[in-house]
Amino acid sequence: MIITLEKFIHIAHQRRDTAQIRLIDDAGEPDRLLWLTAEEVEDYVAMFGPHHGLLAAARHYGMNPADLVTAHRIAGRCDFYASMPVVRNPEGLWQHPEHPATLNPAELHSWLKVIGYEYRETRLDTEPQNASLLYCWKQGDTRIPDWEPLKPRGKGWYLVSISNVGMAKALWVRPVKAPAKVNCRSSDRMSRDRRLCA
């Protein structure tokens, strides 16, 4: 699921601010638009994780996003933006279901820093072992199912995106430091998401 901030407005007759967010379900369900108060934004971060849209809404409300990330971790929710199996489509593309692909590089860097991750990008055109794939790319064939992006050096890196916009790119992330030891709750995330968003 991806959560984006659509708009933030002041409702004069109710004398309050409100954030409109969009829930984009990766299971094919229709998008949902919700209006959230500051307290609801805080609750959604605790339940669903520090999605970029929720943290953007929190900033509008004057909350510190880093505090919300800490509260999410203390709540024992350990499955947000976690490593998962990469199942690429026929074009060779893939995106982590919680990765906000619409962010510009500065926004992505800022969000990853707040949630405690660093990132590296690998590109098809910088990997010499992929000369034949690069040749096909330059001839207009942007399918990359055979490309196996090189993982950055060091431990803990995992893929969150393989895209072909501009040039074939893979985005890798890892936690900057090991998260604090918490008791992770095992839960059926999909049923939790559906129950809370219905």
Across the chain, which has 198 residues, the per-10-residue mean pLDDT values are 75 69 78 88 89 90 91 80 94 93 90 94 87 88 91 95 91 79 45 36
Is residue 170 located within the same domain as residue 99?
yes
When divided into structural domains, the chain yields a total of: 2
Please report whether residue 85 resides in a domain.
no
Is residue 112 located within the same domain as residue 167?
yes
Q: Which two tokens stand for residue 99?
A: 């990765």
* Domain containing residue 51: 2-78+183-197
Instruction: Specify the 3-state DSSP secondary structure of 8.
Output: strand
Is residue 58 located within the same domain as residue 98?
no
Is residue 130 located within the same domain as residue 187?
no
Whole-number pLDDT of residue 191: 36
CA distance 46 to 24: 18
DSSP state of 28: S
Instruction: Specify the 3-state DSSP secondary structure of 9.
Output: strand
| Exposed e or buried b per residue across 159-194, where buried means at least 16 C-beta atoms within 10 angstroms of its C-beta | bbbbbbeeebbbbbbbeeeeeeeeeeeeeeeeeebe
Please report whether residue 192 resides in a domain.
yes
Number of helices (H) and strands (E), helices first, in the chain?
A: 6, 7
CA distance 142 to 51: 30
CA 97 vs CA 11, 46, 66, 81, 82: distances in Å: 32, 18, 22, 8, 10
Please report whether residue 86 resides in a domain.
no
Whole-number pLDDT of residue 198: 34
CA 79 vs CA 6, 44, 110, 189, 192: distances in Å: 25, 14, 21, 9, 13
Please report whether residue 87 resides in a domain.
no
Is residue 101 located within the same domain as residue 169?
yes
Is residue 168 located within the same domain as residue 193?
no
CA 193 vs CA 1, 95, 149: distances in Å: 9, 19, 32
Whole-number pLDDT of residue 193: 38
Whole-number pLDDT of residue 24: 82
42's enclosing H/E stretch is helix 38-48
Please report whether residue 188 resides in a domain.
yes
Is residue 74 located within the same domain as residue 29?
yes
Whole-number pLDDT of residue 118: 95
Whole-number pLDDT of residue 186: 41
Whole-number pLDDT of residue 196: 37
Q: Which two tokens stand for residue 35?
A: 């209006």
Is residue 118 located within the same domain as residue 159?
yes
Task: Confirm if 81 and 98 have CB atoms less than 8 A apart.
Answer: yes
Is residue 59 located within the same domain as residue 102?
no
